[in-house]
């Protein structure tokens, strides 16, 4: 089983739609969680952190469910500019010391007019 798993999609949604992505992780000792956005042929950029209490930034809401070991990203009122790949990132304690960062393979979103 992969340490971090995402549905690769693609998700094809019309403008204005609400869309949600989930990301599951296998290590219960995971400490930090993030969503990154990656545009085609560009570098990943931080979209938002995911806190235990949830996190909302405008049309974007991220939530963490530690019991079921998944994080989610909800996008409301989708815009054409939201079309991108969304990467889930999980950081957990490494048994060799320090922390280990795992990137999911990403979920592709296409928003259409």
Evaluate whether 85 touches 38 at the Cβ level (below 8 Å): yes
Task: Kindly identify the residues of this chain, within the stretch 74-93, that bind other proteins according to CB under 8 A.
Answer: 87, 91
Among 34, 75, 78, 84, binds other proteins (CB under 8 A): 34
CB of 7 to other proteins, least distance (A): 13
**Neighbouring C-alpha atoms within 13 Å toward the C-beta of 54:** 8
Among 55, 69, 105, 110, binds other proteins (CB under 8 A): 105
CB of 23 to other proteins, least distance (A): 11
CB of 71 to other proteins, least distance (A): 15
Instruction: Choose among 105, 86, 108, 88: nearest CA to 30.
Output: 88
Does position 73 interact with other proteins (CB under 8 A)? The reply is no
Cβ-defined contacts of 53-61 (< 8 Å, 24+): none
110 class by beta-carbon count within 10 Å (0-12 exposed, 13-18 middle, 19+ buried): middle
Which parts of this chain interact with other proteins (CB under 8 A)? 4, 8, 31-32, 34, 41-46, 49, 87, 91, 98-99, 101-106
């Amino acid at each position: 089983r992969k340490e971090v798993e995402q549905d690769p999609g693609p998700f094809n949604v019309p403008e204005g739609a609400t869309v949600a992505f989930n990301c599951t992780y296998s290590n219960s000792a995971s400490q930090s969680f993030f969503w990154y956005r990656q545009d085609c042929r560009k570098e990943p950029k931080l979209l938002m952190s995911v806190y235990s209490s949830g996190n909302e930034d405008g049309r974007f809401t991220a939530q963490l469910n530690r019991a079921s070991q998944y994080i989610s990203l909800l996008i409301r009122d989708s815009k054409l500019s939201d079309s991108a790949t969304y990467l889930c990132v999980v950081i957990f304690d490494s048994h060799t010391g320090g922390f280990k960062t795992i990137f999911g393979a990403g979920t592709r979103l296409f928003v259409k007019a």
